[in-house]
Every structure is written in C-alpha cells, then in structure tokens.
Structure 1
Amino acid sequence: MNIKIKLYAIIEACFIISLFAFIFSCGSQGKDGLNEKEKTSINFIYKADLSSCLSNLDSLIKSESLEEKQNFYLEARLDFKRLEPALGFVDIENYKYLNQPNILKVEEEDLTDIKIKKPSGFQVLEEALFVDNPDTTEVNSIARQTLNRLKLVENTTGLKGYKDYHILWMIRKEITRIALTGITGFDSPVLENSLFESSIAYQRIEDYLIHSEILNRDKQLQKKWSVSINDARSYLKGDFNEFNRYEFIKTVTHSQLGLWNETVEKLDVNFPFKLAFNNDMTSLFSTSTFNDDFFAERNGKNVKDGQILVGKALFDDTRLSSSGRMSCGTCHEAKKAFTDGKKVFAGQKRNTPTLTYAHLQQGFFFDNRSGSLEGQIVSVVNNEKEFHTDLSSMVETVKRIKEYTIAFDTLYDKGVDQHSVRHAIASYVRDLAAFDSRFDRAINTTERELLSEREINGFNLFMGKAKCATCHFAPVFNGTVPPDFTESEMELLGVPQTNDTINAKIDPDPGRYNLYNTPERRHFFKTPTVRNIAVTGPYMHNGVYSSLEEVMDFYNRGGGAGIGIAVQFQTLPDTPLNLSEKEMEDVILFMKSLTDAKYEPSKSLAVQ
C-alpha cells in the first residue's frame, strides 16, 4: 500500500507540473483565444482535468506492457477524482456510469422495457487490470468504453455561468461524498486507495473555491477554508484499515459543514430550492440533516403536526381493515421499533422490516416494488393477507367516523379523500426518524463518554475493513446511495433457507424476480437500515438469523458463497472478510449504539 501511495504522490506532482506548464504555454492570449483570467477559471480547470484523463486512458489502451497500463490507469483515476467534485454535480448520470461498481446493471421500467447492461468505468477497469494475468482485450475494451463516455462528457458539459450557490452546493456535495462513500472504499474495491484519492478530491475543492472567486469578498473565510482543507488532507494520509473515520467525520466533516454555513451567511448566498440535504444542515446525523420533502411524493410535502397525529390514529386503527382486526400497528409494533419480533408474520412470506427511518429511501418493500410510502400503503390495503380491502372502501370507513371527518376537514382542503388518508399515514411514518441514538448524540457533541472505544472501533470497521458501509450507507445506514439519495440499492447476498453452514441451500424466495421475471434479478432484495437493529431481529428477509452474531458470521464468511451457496450474480464480495472475533463483536457493539433513545434498554453509559 505504501508503494502505491508513493507512486500516487509522484503522479500527483507530475500532474501539477504539467497543468501549470499547459497554462503558461498558452501565453497571455494563445491560439485558443483564452485570456489569463479564463485560464485560471473553474471551467478551464475542469476541462484540463478532462483532457488529462482522456489522454491517460488513450495511453493505457495503446500501451502494450501491463506495468504501463497500470500506471496510466492510476494517473487517469487521479484525474477522475479531480473531476469528481464538478462532474458529480454537473452530470450525475455520467458520473455514476464512470464510477459504477462491477455489478450487472438492470433497468426495469415495465415488462416490455427491461435493459441488461454490462458495467463499465473506473471501478470495473480497476478490477480487470489489477489481477493476476489480466485479459488485455477486456481491459482495453473497458478503457475504450470509459474513454468514449468521457468524450461525451467533454463535449456536453462545462462550468461556465455557475452562480455562487452552484459552487457552494458542489463543494458541500463533495465533502459529504467523501465522508459517506469516499473513505469507505466504495469506489476503490481492489487497491483501497480511497484515502489518498479523497485527498486529491479535496485539493480540487480548494481550487474551485479559490478560482471561482467566491471567497474574494472575504479573505478570512478563504484562510479558514485553506486551513480546513489542509487539515482534512493531513487526516487522509493514514492507512485504510487503521483510519479513524469517526474522528474524521466528527472533527473535519462536521466542522466544514459549519464553515460552509458560515460562508453562506457571510456572503449572503440564497438558494432557489433544497436538495436531499437541508441547506442549513451542520451534521450528517440529526433531525435537521434531511429535507424530508425530497423523499416525498409531489403532493405529499409541507406536513403539519396535526396531520402526523391523525396519521398515527389511522396507523393503529383496526377498523380500516376488512376483518376489523388488523391495523398497520399489528405488524409494525411501536415498542419493537415498528417490527413484530417474528421471523415472518402469519400469512406473510417475508420478515417485517422496521418503519423507523423508512421514508429516507426511494424504494419500499423488500423487492423495491413501490416507489413511495403512499404507494406502499395502497399495496397493504389491497393485500388479501393484510387489510384485504381497497382504498375507496377504506376512505368510506374513515368518513363514517366523526372524529376523523372533523380532523380531516380542519387539516386538508378537501377533507377525507384517498390522497389525504394516504398522506396522513405516510406523514406519521416520516416522523419516525429520531436521530437520537447514543451514536448520534456522541458524534454531534463533545460527550466522548457516550461511546466506548470498542463502539468507535466498530464504526470504523463498519465504514472500512468490514465493508458494511459499501451497502449500508451512512447516515441512515440503508441502501439509499449518498450524496444524491436517488436510488435504493438491492443486493444478492445468498441468504440461506435455514441457519445452516454445512449443507446450506439458498432461500427459495426469488425476491425482485417476481416483479418482471428478470433472471438477473433472482434473489435480489433491498438493503434495509441497520438503525435500531438491536431491537428489530430476527434478521434477513426471511428472518433466518436470530442474533447479530449469526449475521456477522454470515458476512465474514463471504455471504452465501462462503457457506457453499453458488449464485451467479452475488453482489456481496465472495471472499472472507477475515475479521477477528473481537472485530465482529466491535461491529455489533457499534450497531447497537444506533438504537434510538426510546428503545435503549438502559440509560446507563456505553458498554466498555
């Protein structure tokens, strides 16, 4: 690893020299017609990074020796990380294509429109190139696809005309991307050069801040940003497995979010709307972090407290089901973090997931068949094993109850109707994200005694060596990918039918396959949150594991592949994690620290 870092350092120095040489070779008014100011603009820097990346990929394709190909890949990869702050903002879809994991991409619009796409981009290229006896033809093919996509980006994107709020959004997005995926190894699966690459991205953050001239109005702010970024880059010089991600986020990321807000205030920058993160958020782990409206249906926004209260009443009302014996709360018990404690509820085929933090995702049910909370409610109402009715009938039931009609007439312009009933229940579910676990409280305060050293080590393992956070993304620790939060991932883990490691057989539930009969999606299930996991067992979509120790053993072995279940498209790495017993215990201790305050078994200090 040290050799790689030294090589990267040499490449970085060479790039800086070549960039300055390129700038000065243009002269004060070169053939390209650019003046001195244009040559130091953020658009010029962005285009120079693109040009360098294209050049290195082209050289990789033309090179015949493996060593040269690998070196040119490393150079192109650093170019890409320099591009990341801007490209990940200005062209999200092409950024995702260029940085996608080496997993088959399946797009299912409907039964007549299913696309199966072989992945390409830098992660795929890294996995193809840094193996024993790489297939040169395959490597060149992946590199060429990546090159062609970057040419498209070069011809269609730029940073001209960007306003101050664009620049600030772009900067914050990269800061949060580094904290939530960059330092986890999410996009450097083989080389694990994530820390150094994050340092490179930070350098570009500073360049964009300086050359956008946004800080020219306040030199003190400029100095603060320079110091903060240097501090971040100093932190990122550590070893991947030993890196203290908890301290980095608590000390660096959160302080930079505070500095970002200070910059907004002092420069009087106004934003036209909100993204997934609230514009004034200062922590990744708080009730003010997320803009809930971003995750809601268009007509499901601007929730009032009264709507939450009436939604709670509906949630627990058995009169809404045809039998008069079932409510939402029958399966989702509040005292059990809105689960039921059963492997599978009677009449159902899958484990009951927690509803806490459920609204902070883009897919619902284990097979992602619903795209909103409101849509999920309709499915429950129609299910013959659940409410066994329909929305129209349920609305008529609500209308016959005087207390409801009075409340709805007060809270909704149109009183009781299908929209208002669904909206009220969904509003209640959206209120089930407390962000007040010991972990949340500790990372947001100076009260270090709230977490033990082993719990902090567990978080660092979760976010690093154990690779949990490459699927369970912080801060919600579910499968909704930050920092855009537009996609909730599904995975094929190879979950067994029974708790058996000798003669294991995969659970027969086909998962996502049932929706579109796409073979490449057989046994795929949505990644749930691990928040409140201490009180939401048993675990997995079929409740096969009764303890977190069993869950950790499954992952440590390499998922299904590690217990003899061979499936073609397993997304979980099929090699053992090689975690020690103590390391697995520490990860479990961390996960237990994610228990919301109301579900904590004791208010005493953390386990030491």
Structure 2
Amino acid sequence: MRKVLALCMALLLLAAASEERSIGVDNCTELFRTDARAFAARTKEMRMAVELIDSTDARSIENAKEKLKDARVAYKRIAFFLEYFFFTSSRIYNRPPKNEIEEPHLEYAAPTGLQYIEALLFDDPATHQAELLQQCRFLETSAEDLPALLYHFKATDAQVLESVRLELIRVITLSITGFDAPLLKSGLEEGRESLMVIDAVLKPYMAHAKDDIVWKFLASCQVLLAKNNNFDTFDRLYFLTRYALPLQEHLGRMISRMGLEINEKGVLNYRAKNIFSPDAFTPAAFAQHKTGDSAWAKLGEMLFFETRLSANGTRSCASCHNPALHFTDGLPKSIGIHPGQAVRRNAPSLLYSAFQHAQFWDGRSKSLEDQVRTVIHDSLEMNGRPAELIRKMARKQPYRRLIREVAPHRRTLNDTVIYKAIAAYVRTLHPFRSDFDRYLAGDKNALNGRQVNGFNLFMGKAQCGTCHFAPLFNGLIPPTYTLTEFEILGTTLTEDLVNPKPDTDQGRFETRPTPYYRGAFKTPTVRNAAVTAPYMHNGSFGSLEKVMEFYDKGGGAGLGLDIPDQTLPAAPLNLSDEEKSDIIAFLHSLTDRL
C-alpha cells in the first residue's frame, strides 16, 4: 500500500513539475505557427510586387519596397523564435547583405534574404529584377515550410523566456539603430512588432507571476514607438532610459522570481540591472584561463610596466599603452624595440579590450594571453625572452611573493605565467566611469542637450551604432555577443580625402586568406575615442572631425576608391556640420575618468 501511495505521489509531483515547465510553451509555439503562415503570405505579396517592377513606373518600385517592409515586419514576429531555436534556418531570411565567411573553416556564404533584397531594391531594381525574383521565390518557398520546424519540437519555459529576453536586447541594440534595414529605415516599426510578439508570448507568464509592471512597461514601449516613428528624429535615449531598460530590468526580475532563468550562451550576466550596467557582461566568458585571483592581476600590473621583458630593457607594455593616455601612446604607429622604427599598426586603447573574442586589429589572436605572447616575442615590438626572465624574477622582490601565489610549484613556473598575469590585469580595465555611464545610471545632469542628440544620431541617422554596437560600442555583435565583427572600410593612407590614396594593409586577409577579408579590420570600441587620437588601424586620421568626414562620405568607396568588397555602405550619410559636431560631443561623453 505504501509503495502504491509513493508511486501515486511521485506521479502527481511529476505531473505538477511537467505543468510548471510548460506555462507558456504551447502558447509560444502556436503563435509561431500562426505568425509563420502570415510571414509566408507577406513573402508571396513581396514576390508579386517585384514581378510588377517597371523601370518607367516609380510607383511599382515604391510598392515593392512597401511589400518588403511588410515582409520584414511580419518576420519580426517569428525572429526571436527562429534565431534562438533554429539559428541556422534564421540565416536564410535575415543575414547581412554581404559575402560572409563562416569561421573557423572559412566557408563562403553568399548574401541572401530580406536584407539582400533591400540592397538590390535600393540600388537598381530593374537591373536586379531577375536576382530579386530568385530571392523572393526562395524565401516564399522556405517560409511555407516554416511550420514543419515544429514537428517533434520540444522546449522549456526557461528557453522561451531566454529567447524573449534576447529579443528585447535585439530591440534595444539593433532595431532602433536600423541595423537590419538601414535603407528602408523601418527599424522602429520592426522594434514595435517585436515588442508586440514579446507581449503575446509573455501573457501566460505574467498571469502566472501576477506581474503587472512588466506589462505596463511593454505597453509604454509600444505606444512610444507607435507615436514617434520618424527614424531620423526618434529620441532613442528617452526610449531607453524611461521604458526599454526598466522593462529589461523588471523582466529579468520576473524570470528570476519564477525560477526559470537559464543562460545558454554565458556571455551576458542576467543578474545585471540592464544591458548598460557595468556588470552586464561575464568577464569569464572571454577568458581562456581562469585567473580570477587578485594575485594574478597584481602580478600582471607589475609586469605591464616591466621593461626587462624586452630584449634591450627599453620597452614595456606601458610604452605603447600608457595609462595616462587611456592606454594608448598618441602616435599613428608605435615605436618598437628599434629606435626610430615604427611597428605596422596603431596601438589601440586596451580599455575594454577584454570584451572581445579576437585580439589585434586583424583578430589573429583568440585570447589576450596569445596577444601578450605575440607582442613580447615580436622582433619589432619587444623581442623578449620571457622564459629566461621569469625564474630570475621569482627569486627577487617585489615579484617573489606574487609569483609563488600564482605558481606555487616550481614545475608550473614558466613563461605562461607572464602571459596569464598580464592578461588578467588587462581584464580589469573596464571602468565604465564616463559621463554617459553616469547618465544611464540615473544622473540626468551628466549629459547636455548636444550629447543627447549626438547619441540619438549615433544610434540612428548616422548608422554608427550598426557597427559600434551598444553598450560597449565595439564590434561585439548583439544580442548574444558571441562574435566579433570585422569590417572593410576602405581606409585611406592619409587623411587627405580630396586626393585619397588607398592603404595597402591587407588586414585579416593575411591570416585568413579569403578575398572577403582583404582590408578587413576589427571594429574597435569608441569608448574613450575623444582622447585616443590618432584613429584607424594605420593612425591616418588625426581628429574625430576627419573620421566623421570619412564616414559621412561613404568610406573609401564613397571617395571613389576601388574597394569592391567594402562592407561600409558607400552612399553618403549627408550629415550636417551641426550633426557631426553633436556626434563628436557624444563621443566625448564616453571618456572614462581614470
């Protein structure tokens, strides 16, 4: 009898647990099934509009663009689900409109999907009509099969909720910048649609948790986007601080209270208040080695200034990354071990460099440890022999105690201790102590009106935020931040933009020999950009004004240079002098107080 009762109790508990795990999974999958059919219908309408394109009828082209916008908005109702549960399938519909290289095997991926259709439509739709029709038919056929993805589909409430919270970050960092549709400028409308589907997915969870505050912020976000849908003039900072970031905070609290928090990617810290909080990222997700002990960072700080790491005792890490200069040296290209001889590229700031998945301008090192090793051994930079040095240091103050802490056994005492220690120190260099950070933390007097407007331009009309992604303002791609982006800008040899000459540095092509990496460089952070001139990989631009002029003209291709695979749009931004000045004012607000 006891065994029967125990079995019944176990079954009841199992049933209760099963019920608890599926608060909103069925609702979510049904929404996807319905919205997938609607998306398929929009792709059909888009294909039909493209078939009617007539080069002599401007209305036919505008109609095709409107149908593309309808398809894009419809896609946003299923994007969160596809990109989380079926990422490979999602790439069919919304990948960037450029030739992509899938690493590490350098597999080539041709442009396809809605973003590619946008690029063709805004170029010369009559000329590209055959390619447009091919793309439309492919999407239409693929979209019709989307409900089949649900065959034997299984998910948990925790996964559904993580997919939703990532979609909210996508709205905050990508939708309002126009990342997916820079020419249509439909980002605000798409962001509103994303929020509407988030609302629909969350309904059973909000009812279960009895949480009205999440619903209120969701509704407010949707209303604001509906009322202020002019892409160029939208006040993004107001939207973020008043509604979107509080929504992220309260959604996180609701998920945590329900005990349904998971983190499948591990880069984001979901316990942070919001994506702009100083603790929004998990440093360990970028670390090759676990060196969390403060002794590692203390040892690394000492070694950072140690000239004996260089062959002739004249150079240290701080020689090119001076803390007083926000960890740069103020030179176009740093001076290396040989007096008067410059190294190949500009020394970027080390601040926030820990939040990257690739190091150096060309991304050839996958870790800070490997970067340190490479610099110390480089014959132009330090030309050091650290293996011989570390054992000598271990016998002398002030290194002895710290080295024994990190390498208590003699057999572990080798040059890797140096690389790990310096990398551990560099990982502490993310202060988040700028006026912009104070503003996001609640001090509304930290920014002036020009800086606020500059942020809105940076994240909107000027399209800066489509490569320098918030909140780090570097090439770490939202919403999962698991990839580092490389761009081909057509950077000129000098800052003479009247008679531009191409720079011959091949960039990432040198270590990843594919044509679509020729001249590609990592997108650095623009935090502290106002105090870390000169700029670009070759230090060719001496002022932010010149940088803004270069981008405003469409990079190298926009200046008339032959840059066939440039990833920066070549069309001019047509920014006014006042708008450029406001963007520069915003960049000044990103200067950390060290």
Task: Give the structure-2-normalised TM-score.
Answer: 0.87
**1:541 offset after TM fit, Å?**
1.0
2:334 to 324, 327, 345: 345
**1:350 offset after TM fit, Å?**
0.7
Q: Number of residues paired by the alignment?
A: 552
CA shift in 2, pair 1:39/1:411, >3 Å: closer
**1:317 offset after TM fit, Å?**
1.0
2:519 to 503, 511, 523: 523
After TM superposition, list the pairs within 5 Å mapping 1:485-504 onto structure 2.
485-504=481-500
Q: Is the 8 A contact 2:28 2:160 kept in 1?
A: no
**1:518 offset after TM fit, Å?**
2.5
Alignment match, 2:448: 452
Q: Is the 8 A contact 1:43 1:159 kept in 2?
A: no
Secondary structure of 1:82's aligned partner: coil
After TM superposition, list the pairs within 5 Å mapping 1:301-450 onto structure 2.
301=290, 303-346=292-335, 347-389=342-384, 392-393=387-388, 395-401=390-396, 403-412=398-407, 416-445=413-442, 447-450=443-446
**1:97 offset after TM fit, Å?**
4.8
Residue identity opposite 1:201 in structure 2: S
Secondary structure of 1:491's aligned partner: strand
Residue identity opposite 1:44 in structure 2: E
Distance 1:38 1:262 in 2: 18
Alignment match, 2:169: 176
Distance 1:145 1:86 in 2: 20
Alignment match, 1:244: 235
1:255 to 246, 258, 274: 246
CA shift in 2, pair 1:76/1:422, >3 Å: same
**1:577 offset after TM fit, Å?**
1.0
Residue identity opposite 2:496 in structure 1: D
Secondary structure of 1:454's aligned partner: helix
Q: Deviations over 1:123-165 (max 9, x none)?
A: 1112223555432210122224445665776544679543333
Secondary structure of 1:215's aligned partner: helix
Between 1:42-51 and 1:570-579, the stretch displaced more is 42-51
Q: Deviations over 1:426-482 (max 9, x none)?
A: 11111110111000001111x222110000000000000111111111111111111
Q: Does 1:52 align with 2:38?
A: yes
Alignment match, 1:22: none
Please give the root-mean-square deviation of Cα atoms over the aligned residues, in Å.
2.5
**1:186 offset after TM fit, Å?**
0.5
**1:265 offset after TM fit, Å?**
4.1
Q: Does 1:226 align with 2:226?
A: no
Distance 1:581 1:351 in 2: 28
Q: Deviations over 1:325-366 (max 9, x none)?
A: 221111110111110000111230111000000011111111
Distance 1:389 1:196 in 2: 56
Between 1:462-471 and 1:479-488, the stretch displaced more is 479-488
Alignment match, 2:129: 136
Between 1:510-519 and 1:434-443, the stretch displaced more is 510-519
Q: Deviations over 1:261-290 (max 9, x none)?
A: 331343244536772211211132232111
Distance 1:453 1:497 in 2: 35
Alignment match, 1:267: 258
Residue identity opposite 1:124 in structure 2: Y
Residue identity opposite 1:278 in structure 2: N
Residue identity opposite 2:42 in structure 1: N
Between 1:45-54 and 1:421-430, the stretch displaced more is 45-54
Distance 1:69 1:266 in 2: 46
CA shift in 2, pair 1:310/1:214, >3 Å: same
Q: Is the 8 A contact 1:257 1:281 kept in 2?
A: no
Q: Is the 8 A contact 1:398 1:416 kept in 2?
A: no
Q: Does 1:127 align with 2:119?
A: yes
Distance 1:159 1:50 in 2: 17
**1:499 offset after TM fit, Å?**
1.9
CA shift in 2, pair 1:484/1:280, >3 Å: same
Distance 1:272 1:108 in 2: 24
**1:535 offset after TM fit, Å?**
1.3
CA shift in 2, pair 1:187/1:274, >3 Å: closer
**1:85 offset after TM fit, Å?**
1.9
Q: Deviations over 1:569-604 (max 9, x none)?
A: 111111211111111100000001000012xxxxxx
1:280 to 271, 284, 292: 271
CA shift in 2, pair 1:175/1:270, >3 Å: closer
Distance 1:272 1:396 in 2: 41
Q: Deviations over 1:212-246 (max 9, x none)?
A: x3233332x0x222221110011212210110111
Q: Deviations over 1:497-523 (max 9, x none)?
A: 122122211112121222243333221
Alignment match, 1:24: none
After TM superposition, list the pairs within 5 Å mapping 1:547-558 onto structure 2.
547-558=543-554
Distance 1:38 1:353 in 2: 47
Unaligned runs of 5+ in 1: 1-36, 599-608
**1:88 offset after TM fit, Å?**
2.2
CA shift in 2, pair 1:481/1:310, >3 Å: same
Q: Deviations over 1:11-63 (max 9, x none)?
A: xxxxxxxxxxxxxxxxxxxxxxxxxx999621121122223323433454466
Between 1:411-420 and 1:494-503, the stretch displaced more is 411-420
Residue identity opposite 1:510 in structure 2: Q
Q: Does 1:117 align with 2:112?
A: no
Alignment match, 1:83: 78
Between 1:114-123 and 1:392-401, the stretch displaced more is 392-401
Secondary structure of 1:378's aligned partner: helix
Distance 1:181 1:301 in 2: 32
CA shift in 2, pair 1:499/1:159, >3 Å: farther
Alignment match, 1:199: 192
Q: Does 1:461 align with 2:457?
A: yes
**1:313 offset after TM fit, Å?**
0.8
Distance 1:462 1:242 in 2: 12
Residue identity opposite 2:223 in structure 1: S
Unaligned runs of 5+ in 2: 1-22, 54-59, 336-341
Distance 2:495 2:420 in 1: 40
Q: Is the 8 A contact 2:529 2:591 kept in 1?
A: yes
Q: Is the 8 A contact 2:117 2:132 kept in 1?
A: yes
Distance 1:519 1:437 in 2: 39
CA shift in 2, pair 1:316/1:157, >3 Å: farther
Distance 2:64 2:299 in 1: 63
CA shift in 2, pair 1:564/1:270, >3 Å: closer
Task: Give the structure-1-normalised TM-score.
Answer: 0.85
Q: Deviations over 1:518-550 (max 9, x none)?
A: 333221111111001111101111111111111
Distance 1:391 1:273 in 2: 38
1:562 to 537, 541, 558: 558
2:285 to 294, 299, 303: 294
CA shift in 2, pair 1:328/1:472, >3 Å: same
Secondary structure of 1:44's aligned partner: helix
Q: Is the 8 A contact 2:162 2:261 kept in 1?
A: no
Residue identity opposite 1:127 in structure 2: A
